[in-house]
Amino acid sequence: MAVSTPTRAFVGRLAELSVFDPLGDQVGRVRDVVVTFNVARSRPRVIGLVVEVPGRRRVFVPMTRVTSVEGGQVITTGLVNMRRFEQRGNETLVVAELFERRVQVRTEEGEVVDATVEDIGIEQLGTRGWSVARAFVRTGAARSGLGRLGRRRGETLLVAIEDVVGLRDPSQGQSAARLLEAYEDLKPADLAEVIHDLTPRRRAEVAAALADERLADVIEELPEDDQVEILASLEVERAADVLEAMEPDDAADLLAELPVDRQEELLQRMEPDEAADLRRLLTYDENTAGGLMTTEPVILGPEASIAEALAVVRRVELSTALACTVFVCRSPLETPTGRYLGMVHIQRLLREPPHAPVGGILDKDVEPLPPEATLGQVTRMLATYDLVGLPVVDGDGHLLGAVTVDDVLDHILPEDWREDRHDVVAAEEVLGG
C-alpha cells in the first residue's frame, strides 16, 4: 500500500505520535517500533508499531496498515488485531532495546569509532515495505589503528545502517533505566504487562533498576511465575527489602511459592515485626480468610477523632480498598490487636463532625470473620453487606487483619487472569470502534 510522503521518519519522533483512523478519530498513541533482523538482508525490516489504545492496552499495528506518517500523526486503515501485543523471539523493540545500545560505526573518513545509538531512522521502500535505514549516534573515542584519531568524544553522527556494527548484539543493550524512562508514567499493573513481555534476562535488569517500592508494586501485579523468577534474581538482602515493601498478604503468597529453606533465609533478613506478620500469614490456607487478609489495615483506638481518621485514610500509600474502612480496637493497635470493637466506613466519617470520636459511630452489625472462614464465606459476606473490607478476629476477639474485595477477586479469577486481562476483546475489530 502506498504511503504518503515523506517516506522517512525517526523513531524517537514517531514514538508518542497520535494514531488516527481514516475518519480522523484518535485511537491511540505510538509507543514503540518493531523490527526484525535477517542475515540475508543488510537492513533490519520494520514490521509494525506498538500502539497504546484506551485502557493502557498495547496492540500491534502492522506497517501494512499504516497509510501515512506525516504531519505529526500516524494514519492507519483502522482494522487491526486488538489482542495485547506480545513480543516474539525474533522481534526487537527499537525504543525499549536499541536506544542507548553500544555499537561501532564507520565514518566518512574511514574511522571505526565506538558510539551509542540515540535514534533510529526508518524509511519506506515502495512495495518492499519499511526498513531501518540510518542511525543517529553519539560517538566515543576512535578505535586505535583503525583510522584518524582525535575525534571529539560525544560528537553526534548520522550514519547509514550498513556502517553500524553490533546493532543486533543484545549484550550491548540499553540500560534498563532508559527503558523505564520510556514507561515512567505507567501504573504498576501496566508496567507489569510491559515487564511480563520481556525476556527473563531483561526482566532481571529492569527489576534491578527499579526502586524497592516501585518494584514491590509491580511484582504484586505480575503472574506467579514472573514473581518467583524476579525474586530469585535479586540479592537476598534486596529481596527481603522488596518483600517488606509489598502488601503482607501478597508477600506471604509469594513466599509460599518458594522452597522452605529460601523462605526462612528471606524471613531471617527481614525486620522482626515484618517477618512475624508473614510467618503468621503462612500458617493459614491461602483460600481462607486468614490466608486472604492483610495484617496492615487502618486501625485506630475508640478515642481517636474523626478528623484523625480522615487524615489517616488520606495517606497516599494506602490502596483504595484499605482506605474505605477504619477498624476500631482497644490497645495495642498493631495486629493482633486488643479487643475488636467495630468498624467505621469512610462515608460515615464524612458525615460526622470532625471533633467527634470514632468510637461513637461504630458499625457493629457485621460479624467478624474467623481466620478459618472459607473463600466462599468471605465472598458471600462481602456481597451480602455491600462491603469493601471485613475484619478477621481470633477466638478471643483480637483483630488479626482484614480481607478486602481486591484480594478476593484475585483468588476467584482464573490463575492466568493477569496474562489474559485483555483477551476478552474480539481478535479483530476496528480501532476506536
Domain layout of the chain by residue ranges:
8-85, 96-172, 180-283, 298-412
> Is pLDDT at 144 greater than 80 in this prediction?
no
pLDDT at 90 (0 to 100): 80
Least confident of 210-219, 244-253, 405-414: 405-414
What is the pLDDT, as a whole number, of residue 433? 41
At residue 432, the pLDDT reads 43
pLDDT at 183 over 80: no
- Confirm or reject CATH 1.25.60.10 for domain 180-283, answering yes or no: yes
Of residues 169 and 430, which shows the higher confidence score?
Answer: 169
**Residue from 143, 147, 198, 209 nearest 175 by CA:** 209
For the stretch 369-395, pLDDT in tens is 999 999 999 999 999 999 999 999 999
User: Is there a contact between 281 and 295 (Cβ–Cβ < 8 Å)?
Assistant: yes
pLDDT, averaged across the chain: 85
Confidence of residue 143 (pLDDT cuts 50, 70, 90): very low
DSSP collapsed to 3 states, the chain: CCCCCCCEEEHHHHCCCEEECCCCCEEEEEEEEEEECCCCCCCCEEEEEEEEECCCEEEEEEHHHEEECCCCEEEECCEEECCECCCCCCEEEHHHHHCCCEEEEECCCCCEEEEEEEEEEEEECHHHCEEEEEEEEEEEEECCCCCCCCCCCCCEEEEEHHHEECCCCHHHCCCHHHHHHHCCCCCHHHHHHHHHCCCHHHHHHHHHHCCHHHHHHHHCCCCHHHHHHHHHHCCHHHHHHHHHHCCHHHHHHHHHCCCHHHHHHHHHHCCHHHHHHHHHHHCCCCCEHHHHCECCCEEECCCCEHHHHHHHHCCCCCCHHHHCEEEEECCCCCCCCCEEEEEEEHHHHHHCCCCCEHHHHCECCCCCECCCCEHHHHHHHHHHCCCCEEEEECCCCEEEEEEEHHHHHHHHCCCCCCCCCCCCCCCEEECCC
Q: Phi/psi of residue 232, each to 5°?
A: -70, -25
> Stretch 207-225: mean pLDDT, rounded?
92
What's the rounded mean pLDDT across residues 207-232?
92
Looking at residue 425, its pLDDT comes to 40
313 pLDDT above the threshold of 90: yes
The residue-averaged pLDDT of 122-132 equals 84
pLDDT of 252 higher than 70: yes
| Average pLDDT for 159-173 | 80
**pLDDT score of 419:** 54
CA distance 183 to 214: 13
pLDDT for 400-431, tens place per residue? 999 999 889 888 877 655 555 444 443 334 34
Q: Is the peptide bond before 259 cis (omega within 30 degrees of 0)?
A: no
Q: What's residue 79's pLDDT?
A: 64
Which pLDDT does position 117 carry in this prediction?
92
- Tell me, what's the pLDDT at 430? 37
* pLDDT tens string 29-82: 999 999 998 866 778 999 999 998 887 778 899 998 888 888 789 998 876 667
Predicted pLDDT at 40: 65
Q: Does pLDDT of 151 surpass 50?
A: no
Task: Tell whether the torsion through CA atoms of 224, 230, 231 and 233 is positive or negative.
Answer: positive
**Nearest alpha-carbon partner for 11 in 43, 47, 49:** 49
* Grid coordinates given for 136: 543517529
Question: Pairing between strand 164-165 and 102-106?
Answer: antiparallel
CATH number of 8-85: 2.30.30.240
The residue-averaged pLDDT of 147-174 equals 71
Contact 398, 295 (CB under 8 A): no
Does the pLDDT of residue 145 top 50, yes or no?
no
Domain at 298-412, CATH class = alpha beta
